[in-house]
């Protein structure tokens, strides 16, 4: 059997061309693999085949255009046969914060009929413990001729290699971050590592699939709990008329204290979601993780409760809401507290004019677009017109603006950037 390194261009099918799948497909294609990206969205597929990226991520556009034009990456809606499959589909949760594995199940059913034996299937999607096993069971249920028993004609190898890149730095972190690789059977982990070593210079940390699954969830729950601590402090400080950012700066001078930053809530598809997978798996044993989620989820309401009574006292009030993304300098509005806040603001202040500013998008998401009291506005114009400037996201454009334009305004700075 030839290893990936001896093989000139190993073939890889990446299932799911989202924020993780597409950068991974691109970096693999530019590092020596023949990659086919698979997505159910025809528009995404067409765009990628034209060498274009459907979302903003620094350095991705150039790398993608290069690999597509060289013929090392193409996109399709039809899953092809490949030596390696990387499953990078969404793992959302259902009502009651129960993990929804529908997309993983669908990927397994797509791949199963194509398998010939000896393929490696890597689950990248962040998943509750036991999901790699679920993926394998789903494949084997429809292909009883295949087996997890290694080194036979029908052996299929399963591993979990959770992504841990930070949106906004994906193209750097894909290459430099250490990777945890969990083996379900045989030498699946080693074979996954060989593939990922084409592009990843980080250390490879080898374990079993279940530990790898929980380790990824643990990383995001750790961050969520720490942000919850900062958010709880901000609510305590507010009641005591203390500046929370000064408070945190002081405390962080202690050599063993490193408090994160409070904000209007926690967003994105990772930190606001993954801790629930731990809670769903071990509800009795996870009160701290659950409470952290609840504290962070309560923060948008807290921020609105501070602003709305003040806004109601100004007739014909105009509010510049700065930022809709879930974090700075990206266009990703998924699970964004800022977006949620602007929606609720529009509901609760029907007479107000809400000037939504988001420099990274060209049009408002549909639920905001349809509102008569919300319009997408440029930064300078929004601030000039507004009575209240409500900073929700610390985009560079807002952090670096000339603060003299805020002089006559009521300012609500949820990120502490104009402190």
Q: Could you list the residues that contact ligand SAJ (CB under 6 A)?
A: 126, 163-167, 219-220, 223, 227, 260-261, 263, 266-268, 270-271, 326-327
Taking alpha carbons only, the member of 160, 165, 255 closest to residue 210 is 160
How far is it, in rounded angstroms, from Cα 305 to Cα 34?
53
State in angstroms the smallest separation of the CB of 42 from ligand SAJ: 25
- By Cβ distance, which residue is nearest to ligand SAJ? 270
Nearer to ligand SAJ, 133 or 163 (CB): 163
Give the H/E segment covering residue 194.
helix 188-196
Tell me the chain's radius of gyration from C-alpha atoms.
Answer: 23
Residues 266 and 276 sit within 8 Å (Cβ to Cβ): no
CB of 202 to ligand SAJ, least distance (A): 13
d(CA 116, CA 82): 10
Minimum gap (Å) between residue 223 Cβ and ligand SAJ: 4
Catalytic positions? 216, 270
> Which residues lie closer than 8 Å to 335 by C-beta, 6 or more apart?
267, 268, 269, 272, 273, 326
Is the Cα dihedral 286, 181, 200, 124 positive or negative? negative
Under 8 Å CB-to-CB from 253, ≥6 apart: which residues? none
Q: Rounded to the nearest whole angstrom, what is the least distance from the CB of residue 353 to ligand SAJ in the complex?
A: 26
The residue (of 109 and 334) whose beta carbon lies closer to ligand SAJ is 334
Residue 64 or 266 with smaller CB distance to ligand SAJ: 266
Helix or strand run (H / E) with residue 193: helix 188-196
Burial class (CB in 10 A: 0-12, 13-18, 19+), 296: buried
Q: How far is the CB of 274 from ligand SAJ (least distance, A)?
A: 6
Of residues 7 and 226, the one with the C-beta less far from ligand SAJ: 226
Q: Does residue 37 contact residue 17 with C-beta atoms inside 8 Å?
A: yes
Nearer to ligand SAJ, 3 or 258 (CB): 258
Beta partners for residue 147, in sequence order: 155
Supply 106's token pair: 């669908």
Q: Closest CB to ligand SAJ among 160 and 164?
A: 164
Smallest separation (angstroms) from ligand SAJ to the CB of 163: 6
Which residues 6+ apart lie within 8 Å of 1 measured at CB?
118
């Amino acid at each position: 059997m030839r290893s990936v390194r001896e093989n000139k261009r190993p073939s890889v099918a990446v299932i799911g061309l989202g924020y993780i799948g597409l950068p991974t497909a691109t970096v693999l294609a530019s590092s020596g693999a023949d990659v086919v990206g698979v997505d159910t969205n025809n528009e995404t597929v067409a765009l990628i085949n034209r060498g274009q990226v459907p979302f903003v991520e620094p350095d991705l556009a150039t790398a993608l255009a290069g690999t597509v034009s060289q013929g090392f990456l193409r996109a399709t809606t039809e899953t092809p046969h490949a030596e390696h499959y990387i499953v990078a589909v969404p793992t959302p949760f259902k009502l009651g914060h129960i993990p929804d594995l529908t997309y993983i199940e669908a990927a397994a059913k797509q791949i199963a009929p194509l398998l010939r034996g000896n393929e490696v299937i890597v689950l990248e999607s962040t998943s509750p413990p036991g999901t790699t096993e679920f993926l394998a069971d789903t494949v084997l249920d429809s292909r009883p001729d295949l087996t997890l028993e290694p080194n036979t004609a029908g052996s299929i190898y399963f591993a979990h290699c959770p992504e841990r890149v930070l949106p906004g730095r994906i193209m750097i972190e894909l290459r430099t971050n250490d990777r945890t690789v969990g083996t379900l059977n045989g030498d699946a982990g080693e074979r996954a590592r060989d593939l990922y070593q084409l592009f990843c210079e980080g250390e490879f940390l080898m374990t079993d699939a279940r530990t790898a699954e929980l380790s990824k969830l643990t990383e995001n729950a750790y961050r969520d709990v720490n942000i919850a601590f900062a958010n709880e402090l901000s609510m305590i400080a507010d009641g005591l008329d203390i500046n929370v950012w000064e408070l945190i700066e002081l405390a962080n001078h202690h050599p063993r204290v490193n408090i994160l930053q409070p904000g209007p809530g926690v967003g994105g598809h990772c930190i606001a979601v993954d801790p629930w997978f731990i809670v769903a798996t071990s509800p009795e044993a996870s009160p701290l993780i659950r409470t952290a989620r609840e504290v962070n989820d309560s923060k948008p309401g807290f921020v609105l409760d501070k602003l709305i009574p003040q806004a109601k006292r100004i007739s014909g009030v105009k509010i510049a809401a700065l930022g809709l993304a879930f974090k700075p300098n990206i266009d990703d509005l998924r699970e964004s507290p800022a977006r949620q806040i602007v929606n609720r603001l529009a509901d609760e202040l029907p007479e107000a004019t809400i000037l939504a500013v988001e420099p990274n998008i060209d049009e408002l998401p549909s639920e905001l677009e349809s509102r008569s009291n919300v319009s997408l506005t440029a930064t300078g114009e929004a601030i000039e017109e507004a009575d209240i400037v409500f900073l929700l996201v610390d985009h560079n454009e807002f952090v670096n603006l000339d603060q003299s334009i805020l002089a006559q305004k009521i300012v609500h700075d949820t990120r502490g950037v104009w402190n």
